[in-house]
Homo-oligomer: A and B are copies of this chain.
């Protein structure tokens, strides 16, 4: 095996990111809460806690600082961020709000194993070693405890000298209530009014509450932020000097630098209108030689009211209903209450979060595969998703810098995503219910962007948009997944009638010549329409039929099942005849330029997406295994490029220069349309992962791993954020297809309707551990070949109730007690 190939199987350490890797930003924040990110310099960036995205949104004056004085020495005072990186090209230098002129740490190294992040600082001037650790609780199958609007932020300080060191760590934060951000993320405080910061202490919790008395609880601007601590020795300044010019920072820095203690300036009125205050909470300790002390902070927020809609254009317009509350308001009524919950449940939330992190990161998968799987969890905890008070879970496709981008749980994009279904199946079920119970008409047309909940509908011009063939069929397959993961018959019965209508609609709408293969005008995930028989929608139809057949059987609708079976068989046969070219499946068109934006003879990376889902969900082969294998290998052969320097792509560019990636399409046998379908020259991580997953299923392990590694190599913190795979927006939902790689590599099968799970790992079989999850429980599975050549196997349940589940692995079978 070559070195390159061997590397592919490495279960090594996760990457780390120096302070120069400024693209790296690790998201804190829960499901439906918004986020703040920790950058590789240890900086708090991208403030997205205000119910909309905020890439680049900065809060001035907002950072932690350290005062450290070794006995008998001068104090050293620094901002707890490593040095700013070039370029330094602002029109007016760095303003004081950036603290760019203050001394800061020499170096930093960020490490992230979701949901945990750490930043190790280095600085030769300081008499202490400082490490930042932070996380927002994350417990699969427990969305509520994974949806807390806040984070634990701990600074661990170790005395590296031989004398006692007096240490203060002070967190400063500007009060942003009522403020907005401009296009480049600068805070605009013109609408701030009556902002004030309180200091509060209540049993072991103390800290600052940032609030405004201007806004009513029912206003969108209403909210508060708490910066709190459980450390006993605190010092604080509720508001920096309200002066002219740079007085505020002068006074704060001189005050803190003197002895690490803060003087409260005793303002007894709120800040002026069009102004706001910055507050600082400090914690101090004497640290003995060799000793490590923890400075425990919590940052929590409470912005209950969000726009009752997808956007200003697509929202509830009825007066008094323009706003809607976040789910987290079911549990909390203030940022302080969130902090109290974090304090009261710290041990449990920490342990459960660690269980998950360890189960995933200590598994036998290659390090970059774990990275791909774990990093895209962030999508469901990013502003791409939101979660309403009534339990409704919603997702954009991704995010603009400042607003969600492409509305409506888009069926054809979310088709690819697996992460949410495997970790929080109840939320994924909620999406299916929205689709089938609200967005599917009686004649079976499913709006591929869900908007009824906001009294709206997705339009193309002045008409309701057409259905999306791939999205509509994929959604049927995904009901099958949700059902098999949870065994939730009630859920299944609720959506089943609409599913049947949906299949009826599909045949009427898209099979215009009654050969049971789609050939009409087929809108799809490329935002255009395919015409004629083609593998993307054709295979999806087969997958939907198989899923429906199984469900019909289960529900005792034998006749229906038989019809689906018959249609499936005919359709599959016909699709083969029409689209198999000996190497892969093509679109059948007499003249590829008859319509704009077709693929024709092109080798489409998505041609077997439906088949990949069928594998993941346990539906087996939809087309002849031999052809499927050949086709998926052809995709790799023709579409994976080792270097993009010579690739001419007039579309959007996600991969460039000497990077590697998988094209959406190529034309190895010619026949490229004059204007091939939009996106054909692009590279999407969501497609790369599902092709990788599929390659692994078909036995092309190295090819699959090669693709995964290429994706993650591109997200190296210098070029792109490892925790943000972009397509049409940040944290793009499609990237959650990466979870499929875990399922394929572990050979995990699940059927909660029969209480069965199976493992059949495809790599490192002799000593293999993996994370697994169903709607009932999650944990680890381990198999090892012992010295007698026999298999030692173990399933560990780390959360939930798996009692009665039968495990099949290594030719054995046992039931969890």
Contacts and interface: CB of A to CB of B under 8 A. Distances in A.
A246 B681 CA distance: 11
A125 interface: yes
Q: Which of A22, A88, A596, A727 has the most CB of B within 10 A?
A: A88
Given A246-B650, A648-B77, A657 B89 contact: no
Interface in A84-140: 84, 86-96, 98-103, 106, 125
Interface stretch (A212-220, A333-341, A399-407): A399-407
A485 B401 CA distance: 54
A651 B243 CA distance: 13
A246 B401 contact: no
Given A648-B102, A653-B100, A86 B23 contact: yes
Interface string A719-732: 11100101111100
A183 interface: yes
B244 A95 contact: no
Nearest to A597: B245
Contact of A652 (B95, B247, B654): B95
A250 interface: yes
A656 B101 contact: yes
A639 to B, nearest CB: 15
A93 B653 contact: yes
Contacts of A718: 86-87
A387 interface: no
Contacts of A652: 92-96, 101, 246
A98 B653 CA distance: 9
Contact of A650 (B93, B96, B675, B719): B96
A650 B243 CA distance: 13
A649 interface: yes
A22 to B, nearest CB: 7
Contact of A401 (B91, B96, B646): B91
Nearest to A719: B86
Given A244-B596, A656-B101, A650 B88 contact: no
A652 to B, nearest CB: 5
A288 to B, nearest CB: 27
A794 interface: no
A125 B86 contact: no
A253 interface: yes
Q: Which of A100, A249, A718, A727 has the most CB of B within 10 A?
A: A100
Contacts of A91: 55, 398-401, 405, 726, 729-730
A358 interface: no
A239 to B, nearest CB: 16
Contact of A247 (B106, B244, B675): B675
A184 interface: yes
A648 B92 contact: no
Contacts of A567: none
Contacts of A99: 650
Given A91-B55, A596-B244, A719-B87, A102 B650 contact: yes
What interface size band does chain A fall in? Answer: 35 or more
Given A183-B184, A243-B675, A657 B23 contact: no
A589 B73 CA distance: 34
A653 B728 contact: no
A145 B571 CA distance: 76
A647 interface: yes
A318 interface: no
A678 interface: yes
Interface string A697-731: 00000000000000000000011110010111110
Contacts of A252: 650
A42 to B, nearest CB: 16
Interface in A726-785: 726-730
Given A89-B720, A184-B183, A645-B103, A246 B730 contact: no
Contacts of A86: 23, 718-720
Interface string A483-516: 0000000000000000000000000000000000
Contacts of A94: 652-654, 656
A528 B596 CA distance: 65
A390 interface: no
Contacts of A724: 89
A253 B597 CA distance: 17
Nearest to A245: B678
A246 B651 contact: yes
A83 interface: yes
A182 interface: yes
A413 to B, nearest CB: 14
A66 to B, nearest CB: 13
Contacts of A730: 91
A103 B646 contact: yes
A24 to B, nearest CB: 10
Contact of A257 (B596, B648, B681): B648
Interface string A53-84: 00100000000000000000000010000011
Contacts of A682: 93
Given A653-B100, A675-B243, A88 B720 contact: yes
Q: Which of A91, A254, A675 has the most CB of B within 10 A?
A: A91
Interface string A626-659: 0000000000000000000111111111101100
Interface string A564-594: 0000000000000000000000000000000
A424 to B, nearest CB: 25
A721 B89 CA distance: 7
A772 to B, nearest CB: 34
A678 B101 CA distance: 14
B678 A93 contact: no
A116 to B, nearest CB: 23
A646 to B, nearest CB: 5
B22 A650 contact: no
Interface in A287-331: none
Given A87-B720, A254-B674, 20 more contacts: A55-B91, A77-B648, A83-B656, A84-B657, A87-B718, A88-B656, A88-B719, A91-B399, A93-B653, A93-B654, A101-B650, A101-B652, A102-B650, A103-B648, A183-B184, A245-B528, A245-B678, A246-B650, A250-B674, A250-B675
30 contacts: A23-B87, A83-B657, A86-B718, A86-B719, A88-B656, A88-B719, A91-B400, A91-B401, A92-B652, A92-B728, A93-B652, A93-B682, A94-B653, A94-B656, A95-B652, A96-B650, A100-B653, A101-B652, A102-B649, A103-B648, A106-B645, A184-B184, A244-B596, A245-B528, A246-B650, A246-B652, A249-B650, A250-B675, A251-B675, A253-B648
Shortest beta-carbon contacts, A-B, top 10: A101-B649, A249-B650, A101-B653, A100-B653, A183-B183, A94-B653, A86-B719, A93-B654, A23-B87, A245-B678
